[in-house]
Amino acid sequence: LRAQILATAALQPRHPGRDSPIAGAVLTNGDVDAVAGLLTLRESWPLAIYATPRVLDVLAANSIFNVLSADHVARRPIALGARVDLATKTGEPLGLSVEAFSVPGKVALYLEDAGIEQHLAQRSEDTIGLMISAVGTAKRFFYVPGCAALDDDLARRLRDAPLLFFDGTLWRDDEMIRAGLGVKTGRRMGHLSVSEPAGSIAALAPLGIKRKLFIHINNTNPMLCLDSPERRAVERAGWEVARDGLELSL
């Protein structure tokens, strides 16, 4: 089982003429950073989009996603807790399965209403994590790009995982405010911060996870800088910071 983190530009066509190496996408939430990329995929190219019914409803209610026409794009619901074998638009197996699980989070920013403060760090179909497996093997890894809190259910699920990609948005909860770049805490944005006393490094430490990588990292997070004390602290804690082009094998 190999995982690649790629900038889209690094994906080369396999054939001359039009081609795309992208067979589909599994959406982990409905926010712009998870769904707007759908608008830049090759038009009229067969794709399979997997998401929870909730996120599929968000797409269906938004006319701009009509560019993903039903002639070319299959939209497939994934139920929480059920393993789904991924397949291309035409049903060809991709050799991967996903199991989705809800994680503490919130509704997409653009769908927030006045009551949002009362609906933070809640579990719903709005924000999910994925267990991704190679079909027919025991090989698996976890992909959790947005997570507002580590609760008992999530801890149980991640225990002894061989590999985890996890939300590394902010170093500390008030980072955007301190930098004068925003008015929201990480908690308000739906993200557990890396370095807080109850943050992701501390909360995930006792779970025996073999390899841990931060992804979804905001450009204010000092651990992005190779020579920062924060980067050294992350590495000393047994984490890695993912980068474009990284390849992993299990």
Binding footprint of a copy of itself on the chain (CB under 8 A): 17-18, 32, 35-36, 39-40, 44, 61-67, 109-111, 179, 181-182, 219-220
Least distance in angstroms from the C-beta of 186 to a copy of itself: 15
Q: Which is nearer to a copy of itself, 64 or 82 (CB)?
A: 64
- The H or E element containing residue 143 is strand 140-144
Euclidean distance between CA atoms 98 and 114, whole angstroms: 34
Euclidean distance between CA atoms 128 and 193, whole angstroms: 18
Least distance in angstroms from the C-beta of 36 to a copy of itself: 4
Q: Which is nearer to a copy of itself, 129 or 145 (CB)?
A: 145
DSSP string of 102-127?
Answer: E-SB---GGG--TTGGGGSSB-STTS
Q: Which is nearer to a copy of itself, 98 or 108 (CB)?
A: 108
Q: Which is nearer to a copy of itself, 36 or 79 (CB)?
A: 36
Least distance in angstroms from the C-beta of 12 to a copy of itself: 14
Q: Which is nearer to a copy of itself, 3 or 109 (CB)?
A: 109
Q: In degrees rounded to 5, what are phi and psi of residue 165?
A: -100, 125
CB 39 within 8 A of CB 27: no
What are residue 160's DSSP bridge partners? Answer: none
Least distance in angstroms from the C-beta of 66 to a copy of itself: 4
Least distance in angstroms from the C-beta of 120 to a copy of itself: 18
Q: Classify 169 as helix, strand or coil.
A: coil
Tell me the CB-side half-sphere exposure of residue 27, using CA atoms within 13 A: 29
